[in-house]
Amino acid sequence: MRRNILLLFFLFFSMPGLILAESGENLWLRYDKVSDNVFDDYSVLETLYVEGNSPVIGVARNELINAIKGMTSVDLDLSKKVSGSSILLGVGLNEKIDVQGLEEGLESCGPEGYVIRRVGKDKETQVVITANTDAGVLYGTFAFIRMMQNEEDISAINVVETPKYELRLLNHWDNLDGTVERGYAGHSIWWNREKDFNDLRDHYQIYARANASVGINGTVLNNVNAAPEVLTDEYLEQVVRIADLLRPYNIKVYLSVNFSSPAVIGGLEDSDPLRDEVREWWKDKVEEIYEEIPDFGGFLVKANSEGQPGPQDYGRTHADGANMLAEALEPYDGIVMWRAFVYAPSGDDRAKQAYTEFVPLDGKFHENVIVQVKNGPIDFQPREPFSPVFGAMDETSLMIEFQITQEYLGFSNHLAYLATMQKETFESDTYAKGPGSTVAKATDGSLFSQKHTAIAGVANIGRDVNWTGHHFAQANWYAYGRLAWDHTLRADDIGKEWLGMTFSNEDAFVEPSLNIMMRSREAVVNYMTPLGLHHLMGWSHHHGPEPWTEIEGARPDWLPKYYHNASEDGIGFDRSESGSNAVVQYEEPLASIYNNPKTCPENLILWFHHLPWDYTMSSGLSLWDELCYHYYDGVEEVRLMQKKWDRMQGLIDDERFEHVRHKLKIQSREAEWWRDACLLYFQTFSGMPIPAELERPVHDLEELKKIKFDMTHHN
């Protein structure tokens, strides 16, 4: 009887067309069966020859075996010699086999790049995955698996790749109490866990595999608003365990540190970076860390910003503070990532402060200091111009910082594919060395001779089963990693990869879902902050619209009114020569382009200009009408996303389908909330009607002002 039940169970779950429920826990590493039309070409690979036995090579070997088993049901036989139809994996394979062009490929792929070649025919075909280091072999292995997951033609593979950035990091804004600042997928995966570390090992390995699969090679474990206690024995013991687990995946650990640590936990009188006692404290602490973690990456520092301590507290410069830490780390090849996100109370434009404080220090930082610059000059807004710091510091290593977690883009409730935003920044021309001096080239070492090239992404990862709170938010983690490896990749190609690996390769699913993704970020910009508007969010939660907010005693640049300047005369922030003159921080011809409202890109026009409500836009519409149409277009886009997604029912598992449908309902409702709140409030200044052909607002302004946003449902 029991045998018959098991047989029926097997037959039921083997039925063609049956789609089992999925939680999203395995991210894009699901390794589903490939379709029949590619099965034969993939399954012909029957044996695996591995050169080397390091932990990193072991990870690559096991990942490849499990992936091919999942996709083809083939159990790879491990072979001690090169023979038959096989996969060859390891460093130095050019010395084992004679393959034309292999040596040249290895010469060009650097320390972490790889070569993948397929040679031979029929039953004597080999796929060669090789590199100059074990790390390169690991990345080549995941690249080959990705090709199979996307059912690419592997009959004539000839791939040579090397990463564009040397250091490709996640920044976790995780607090030691287990909370996550601007995190919307539950509590920290690292801190304040109820379970024993060993019980979490499998969970952490999914994290490690996911990062290795896209080439991320470093992770900062704690919040930039760092607690000094992270450097005490209690927490360093946890850091050691994490480092040991991540090391076989070629991932180094880094820590955010509080600049006042010598005084707070070291018992010193102060933390003045030019005092010998303070410098010795940091050297001793660094030595202590490296005794336990020989490959520790270094420190991330947020200093003299938003109330955080820093060298300016003692009349010192950012370079003084960064160089003190750099000297402590230099004997161990550690680095300092010093954030340029700085602003303090002043009468000047907040958008100018990073440039004002850091550009004069160009050339004064030690070689193992990297200045970490946010993609825009304010704070991860739905749309910003690129930071003018990029291209302005040619003697300092600069590190571009993106936000993966959607602090200002609807949290994990809104579908917003951020690869399009990142590409917009990468491809922006700084003109630092004439046309073609893009932000990407200004940071990847191709424009300036930087000691280090690096990129950071503020992680959106938490303890939610699907890791990111929204199944489509996984795409932003994946896309960040892919662009950190190669910023020339297309956002739509990355999206298509992710959809195929995460959900389905069927065109009926991929094409409409990709269309949703590619249009999503612009939809969010339109229903939140179109035409260059910015920081209209509630000053504390950064989620809902609060353009009217007034808080007694609060700094002006914490409040939306500072940025939109709405009045009867018009709206926008004047950063032209007649205003704050922020335009002068950009190279020509950009400075002149941004300075003139007739040449300024209209998607940034209210970022750089305060204009009257009846200003005529390029469409012929008044600024007020143009603003209205953008807000309404954003809402309509989300409704269209809903309709397209509803047609995906039955093409993927019901569990994830319903999750996304529920999130889109929330997004649609909140898009209307944004539209109505902003337009009804701005209308009190413009005195102009909403165009008659648009639907009437569904909310009342006074009722909208009473909404108190509750973050609990996001965690």
User: What is each CA distance from 376 to 188, 391, 421, 428, in whole angstroms?
Assistant: 27, 13, 11, 11
Does the N-terminal peptide bond of residue 589 adopt cis geometry, omega within 30 degrees of 0?
yes
Query: Of the residues 488, 506, 537, which one is the last residue of a structural domain?
Result: 488
The bridge status of strand 47-51 relative to strand 158-161 is: unpaired
Q: Which domain holds residue 213?
A: 167-488
Catalytic residue among 166, 330, 384, 407: 407
Q: What DSSP character marks residue 385?
A: P
Is there a domain that residue 496 lies in? no
Is there a domain that residue 205 lies in? yes
The tally of CA atoms less than 13 A away on the side-chain side of residue 597 is: 21
Q: What DSSP character marks residue 180?
A: B
Residues 153 and 180 in one domain: no
Is there a domain that residue 591 lies in? no
Nearest C-alpha neighbor of 663 from the set 335, 474, 410, 379: 410
The tally of CA atoms less than 13 A away on the side-chain side of residue 125 is: 17
Q: Is the dihedral of CA 624, 627, 633, 638 positive or negative?
A: negative
Residues 213 and 355 in one domain: yes
The whole-angstrom separation of Cα 51 and Cα 589 is 54
The residue assigned the tokens 């990463």 is: 163
Is there a domain that residue 372 lies in? yes
The tokens of 458 are what?
């503020």
Is there a domain that residue 16 lies in? no
Q: What DSSP character marks residue 54?
A: -
Angle, alpha carbons 67-71-76 (nearest 5°): 60
Is there a domain that residue 699 lies in? yes
The whole-angstrom separation of Cα 293 and Cα 667 is 44
Contact 417, 491 (CB under 8 A): yes
Catalytic residue among 379, 394, 602, 655: 379
Query: Of the residues 116, 144, 161, which one is the last residue of a structural domain?
Result: 161
Contact 114, 106 (CB under 8 A): no
The whole-angstrom separation of Cα 282 and Cα 262 is 7
The whole-angstrom separation of Cα 715 and Cα 179 is 10
DSSP result, 328-347: HHGGGT-EEEEE-----S-S
The whole-angstrom separation of Cα 701 and Cα 698 is 10
Residues contacting residue 24 through CB under 8 Å, at least 6 positions apart: 465, 466, 467, 471, 474, 656, 659
Give the amino acid at 141: T
- Residue 2 has what pLDDT? 39
Residues 186 and 125 in one domain: no
Residues 157 and 177 in one domain: no
The 3-state DSSP class for residue 528 equals helix
Residues 184 and 267 in one domain: yes
The whole-angstrom separation of Cα 129 and Cα 86 is 11
- Residue 85 has what pLDDT? 85
The tokens of 167 are what?
């250091």
Indicate which CATH number applies to the domain containing 62.
Answer: 3.30.379.10
Contact 148, 121 (CB under 8 A): no
- Residue 350 has what pLDDT? 93
Q: Reply yes or no on whether 177 is catalytic.
A: no
Residues contacting residue 350 through CB under 8 Å, at least 6 positions apart: 343, 378, 557, 562
Query: Of the residues 436, 466, 488, which one is the last residue of a structural domain?
Result: 488
Residues 386 and 335 in one domain: yes
Residues 144 and 173 in one domain: no
Q: Reply yes or no on whether 202 is catalytic.
A: no
For the chain (715 residues), the mean pLDDT of every run of 10, in chain order, is: 39 49 95 92 90 97 97 93 88 83 90 93 83 98 97 92 98 98 96 95 97 98 98 98 98 98 98 98 98 98 95 98 98 98 82 97 98 97 98 98 97 97 98 98 96 98 98 98 98 98 97 98 98 92 91 85 97 98 98 98 98 98 98 98 98 98 98 97 98 95 81 39
- Tens digit of each residue's pLDDT (9 = 90 or more) over 228-267: 999 999 999 999 999 999 999 999 999 999 999 999 999 9
- Residue 555 has what pLDDT? 82
User: What is each CA distance from 683 to 187, 253, 635, 680, in whole angstroms?
Assistant: 40, 50, 18, 5
Residues 154 and 225 in one domain: no
- Residue 122 has what pLDDT? 64
Indicate which CATH number applies to the domain containing 393.
Answer: 3.20.20.80
Residues 212 and 116 in one domain: no
Residues 114 and 216 in one domain: no
Residues contacting residue 621 through CB under 8 Å, at least 6 positions apart: 629
Indicate which CATH number applies to the domain containing 649.
Answer: 3.90.1330.10
The whole-angstrom separation of Cα 283 and Cα 279 is 6
Q: What DSSP character marks residue 379?
A: S
Nearest C-alpha neighbor of 62 from the set 197, 209, 162: 209
Is there a domain that residue 150 lies in? yes
How many domains is the chain partitioned into structurally? 3
pTM, two decimals, is 0.96
- Residue 345 has what pLDDT? 64
Is there a domain that residue 66 lies in? yes
- Residue 18 has what pLDDT? 55
Q: 146 has which bridge partners?
A: none
- Backbone Cα Rg of the chain: 26
Contact 184, 469 (CB under 8 A): yes
Q: Reply yes or no on whether 577 is catalytic.
A: no
The 3-state DSSP class for residue 657 equals helix
Residues 362 and 436 in one domain: yes
Residues 236 and 373 in one domain: yes
- Residue 123 has what pLDDT? 65
Nearest C-alpha neighbor of 684 from the set 667, 670, 705, 663: 705
Contact 615, 597 (CB under 8 A): yes
- Residue 44 has what pLDDT? 85
Catalytic residue among 32, 306, 506, 695: 306
